[in-house]
Structure 1
Amino acid sequence: MSFSTTTWSQPPQHQQPAYNTVTARTTLLRHMPAPVGIPMVIPSMAPLTRSPQSESTMPPASKPKKVEWTPAVRDYVARTFDPENAVAGITPAMVQAKTKEVIQYFAERNMQQEIDWSDYPLPQQLLAEERKKAMAALSDGYAHVSSPNEITNNPSSVLTSQPKKRKSQDLDDQSRLVETSIPPWRKTNLEDRITYGNGHNEKRQKKNALAGDSISKLDKADLEKRKQRFQLGKSGNKATASGSDYEAEMPTGPVVGLNENLEKPYFRLTAPPKAETVRPLRVLQKTLIHLTRKWKDESNYNYICNQFKSLRQDLTVQHIKTSFTVKVYEIHARIALEKGDTGEYNQCQTQLRALYTQNLGGHPHEFLAYRILYFVYTCNKTDMNDLLAELTPADKAHDWIRHALDVRSALALGNYHKFFKLYLEANTKTYMGVYLMDMFIERERFNALANISRAYITVTMRFLTDELAFENEVDCREFLESNGAKHLIDDIYDEKSGTRRVKVKEGAATFEALRAGAFNKIDIKGQI
């Protein structure tokens, strides 16, 4: 058997290959940024390299024209990165990006030769100018937009007026500035809202700036609420809901009341008051007489307190600060003292302190004595020391102030015997210091019992009654029994002393616990 040899011939030259040639893309190439301090040269795009095997099968690609940078451009780049030309707040990365943007802009338009690069602003100068224009645009209420003629005649204007992305808060502030003028307390410091990069600290600076901005917004929100409450300016919850149109309609001065009713319930203000709901001064004077008479006849404190707060509110919204205002606050403070309402009393006391500085009359010495006793009650040593430093010799000579200072001195020295004598004297005086002393008399009785238990084994009930300033022995016994000291009272009646004896030595631990608990429960509600 013979085999024939078959010769394989090459395919004809005109036969198409089994693949399609594809030109390599050059638009995805990246160029590493030039190191800081070295002049940046922007290279021209070059085609991707191909293997020798593909060169024979792929059609030759057109080689792009290499861009030649003139010496003037190179000198411009060198001056850009010169440390002497650095601008504070502008990082080298920002300068490098701006340099590339400037050169590419003129290269694409074949305008390298037409620009005088020796006088052309450096990139960092362009960036600084952009920031100034941005701040000026925000403060004036509009942003500058270049016209087509300006772009054609001055191509560099495009580089210095490119729109930048803004935060939503910045856009909101800008629209408000365009629509209406913002009240002074709502204006923000635009300079504080622009953060400048500084190397590796840029992120930290932005974080701190945002934190500070949030704190300032919280502070301003609290200020808005307070101004809305006392009607000292243009503010209110309704204004924030309906926008600047409502703010423009809000009154700027004090309200002049038109209401003729003597009585009016108190409501906290959540919007600017209307004149129809506010009573004028002549009506308020009649209201004070009416409320004073009604308090003496009915003694309904909840009702009277509500009416006095409404009266004080009408005085506040009308900016009335006269001797009548002082009289209103003094009467309300005395009523609050009589009923033991330390919150309302302290609010009146705070306002009276400011009113007395305007020499509007009233009884400043009386309420200065109350203030001393109030600091004794609250154990506020810091404010007490400040007040003592402000007292004049004339103040210390006043009878009521001298009594209050003696109370403070007796407690500071631990002289409970003198303190309870002063308490009994306060009952005979015409001023209301005894009402303030009633607020901490129980606490001082516990303190005295703890001291007595360390000095005596047993004492008579009469002795405790006199030392602790009780009216009679029955009240003293009820005080001991109600505070867990019933077992200390001797059941045997002492015929010689005509009273029972109390084993105070055995109750030392009990009295010490009572004293510690009393000094831990100091009610300072309403303190400002």
Structure 2
Amino acid sequence: MAAPPPWRSGAASNGYTSVEARRSFAAPRTVGSSTTTTTAAATSPTGGGAAKTTFPDPLKQYVARTFENIAEADKKDVEIELKRIITDAFNEKVVWSINWDEMPLPQVILQKRRNSQGQQVTNSDKSPPLKSFGKFSISDTKKRKSAGDDTTITNKYTERSDKKARQQSPYTGFSDKLSQRDKEKRATRFAKELRAVTPPIERNINSTTHMDIDVAQPLVGRCMTLEKRYLRLTSAPDPDNVRPLHVLEKTLELLKKKWREEQNYAYICDQFKSLRQDLTVQHIKTEFTVSVYEIHARIALEKGDLGEYNQCQSQLANLYAEGFTGQEEEFKAYRILYLLHTCNRADMNELLAILTPTDKQHPNIQHSLQVRSALAAGNYHKFFRLYLDAPSMGGYLMDSFAGRERIAALACICRAYRPDIDIRFLTEELGFESDKECVEFLCDHGAEELIQQKVLDNGTTSIRLNTQKASPIFEQAKQNAFKKVDIKGQL
């Protein structure tokens, strides 16, 4: 007869097996007489090959001494140093063999680093002899790039710790493959490395760079020059190269005057970027800041620089949201037209959702919404009427996608009108200023051979486009025109 299943025999007959609760990270206890043996092996440094997973008592006392008398300001640095010491001891498998009673406290090590001022501690140090471990000796300055460079040592500690941690966590146990003699040697090298104190990684008290800058206070510029080239910052701004607010106000007036007289966009754009940079580094957010971004945005639109315009409108949206006043309705209208250019339906829906009834009464916004409706309905006749009657700077924005919509309209016209169509009709419907401009547009898109002069029945002469042959040309051109547009407004 087959033996009964385990859960039906002995102490398990009541439906469960009694197991002692596990109350530590040591090896799990087993039921029976083997429990005591397993626990002893787990807590002993020579537990017959069993994994050592608990902290030795001397280490616990070392941690307690560390936090007995410690200033609150130094607590974070001391915790980081203590963690490094313990982690390295675990990784090198010397946590049980090292003499923790003679180990210097982390705050002592940190203090020696601060006192060293970039100089390595010499062999005449009067501190108690320590034990160490490691594959290199940091007391040997010839093996280091610089006596004041602690980065190399820290990187070695970090790389070694990360590699060991990936292979085996220090809290899951260590193997006892190394002999006791090897462990003692590693413990000796470990303590010596800790004794060889090096200066802090990111501290150089001899440095005089920007010593006159109080990082706790906002930066206030001291430059009195009105015109200054734009240079991308690669370090902390120097107050001597930053213009204060009253100088920036004079700079803006000068730039407006030069733009009216010279129309040099490359120069003006560079100066406005420099002006905006000085406002940013000084954290100046006022109505003057709004005015600077609005003027730069309008100039960028006039010159068709949608990338620079997009940067300005993004900052303007943030400034308006923070409560700074300006021509908000005007730039909301521009935003609608810009999103039509980029075919960004998601952002368009978000913008339409936040428009208030007051916003919708503004003439610029009304015009932009009508443009959107015309394109959504495929009403090209209405679209080009709105294009010719755009308020403010809206016409410049519509220039960016009017050509694309002309191609789409021509594809539609070529399907509807056969066999040909009068150029005059195209000029009026597609918003061209003259028949010559219309013909140039058709030639630019490969329809030059399809434009012909024809005598009508009433004896008049007409220049016409062969729509039957032009249809595939503009269908292909339409597919190419409606490519995805990037954030800078470029294909």
Question: Residue 137 of structure 1 contacts residue 144 of structure 1 at CA under 8 Å; is this kept in 2?
Answer: no
Compute the displacement of 1:157 (Å): 10
**Structure possessing the higher radius of gyration over alpha carbons:** 1
Q: Aligned AA for 1:515? A: K
Return the match for 1:334 from 294, 298, 301.
Answer: 298
CA distance in 2, matches of 1:86, 1:263: 72
Tell me how many residue pairs correspond in the alignment. 361
Return the match for 1:477 from 430, 434, 439.
Answer: 439
Aligned alpha-carbon RMSD (Å): 4.4
Q: What is the correspondence of 1:103-118 to structure 2 with a 5 Å cutoff?
A: 103=44
What residue in structure 2 maps to residue 267 of structure 1? 231
Compute the displacement of 1:502 (Å): 1.4
Secondary structure of the structure 2 residue equivalent to 1:440:
helix
Q: 1:514 to 1:159 in 2, by over 3 A?
A: same
Return the match for 1:140 from 79, 85, 94.
Answer: 79
What residue in structure 2 maps to residue 522 of structure 1? 485
Compute the displacement of 1:87 (Å): 3.5
Structure 1 unmatched ranges of 5 or more: 1-81, 108-122, 147-155, 165-170, 181-193, 207-239
Return the match for 1:392 from 336, 352, 356.
Answer: 356
Compute the displacement of 1:359 (Å): 2.2
Q: What is the correspondence of 1:138-287 to structure 2 with a 5 Å cutoff?
A: 140-143=79-82, 243=203, 245=205, 251-252=214-215, 253-287=217-251
Q: Does 1:293 align with 2:234?
A: no
CA distance in 2, matches of 1:203, 1:319: 48
Q: 1:470 to 1:366 in 2, by over 3 A?
A: same
Structure 2 unmatched ranges of 5 or more: 1-18, 30-34, 68-74, 86-94, 116-160, 171-199
Return the match for 2:473 from 502, 510, 517.
Answer: 510
- Report the identity percentage: 45
Q: 1:290 to 1:84 in 2, by over 3 A?
A: same
Compute the displacement of 1:140 (Å): 3.3
What residue in structure 2 maps to residue 6 of structure 1? none
Q: TM-score, normalised by structure 2?
A: 0.64
Q: 1:296 to 1:104 in 2, by over 3 A?
A: closer
Q: 1:387 to 1:98 in 2, by over 3 A?
A: farther
CA distance in 2, matches of 1:482, 1:99: 89
Secondary structure of the structure 2 residue equivalent to 1:319:
coil
What residue in structure 2 maps to residue 351 of structure 1? 315
CA distance in 2, matches of 1:468, 1:204: 72
What residue in structure 2 maps to residue 492 of structure 1? 454
- Cα-to-partner distance string for 1:27-50 (whole Å, 9 max, x where unaligned): xxxxxxxxxxxxxxxxxxxxxxxx
Q: 1:506 to 1:349 in 2, by over 3 A?
A: same
Q: 1:138 to 1:415 in 2, by over 3 A?
A: same
Q: Does 1:100 align with 2:41?
A: yes
Compute the displacement of 1:488 (Å): 1.6
Compute the displacement of 1:467 (Å): 0.9
Q: 1:524 to 1:124 in 2, by over 3 A?
A: closer
Secondary structure of the structure 1 residue equivalent to 2:82:
coil
What residue in structure 2 maps to residue 452 of structure 1? 413
CA distance in 1, matches of 2:486, 2:470: 27
CA distance in 2, matches of 1:453, 1:177: 85
Secondary structure of the structure 2 residue equivalent to 1:85:
coil
Q: What is the correspondence of 1:304-453 to structure 2 with a 5 Å cutoff?
A: 304-426=268-390, 429=391, 431-453=392-414
Compute the displacement of 1:481 (Å): 1.1
- With CA pairs under 8 Å and 6+ residues apart, which has the higher RCO, 1 or 2? 2
Q: Aligned AA for 2:414? A: S
Q: 1:482 to 1:162 in 2, by over 3 A?
A: farther
What residue in structure 2 maps to residue 12 of structure 1? none
Compute the displacement of 1:251 (Å): 3.5
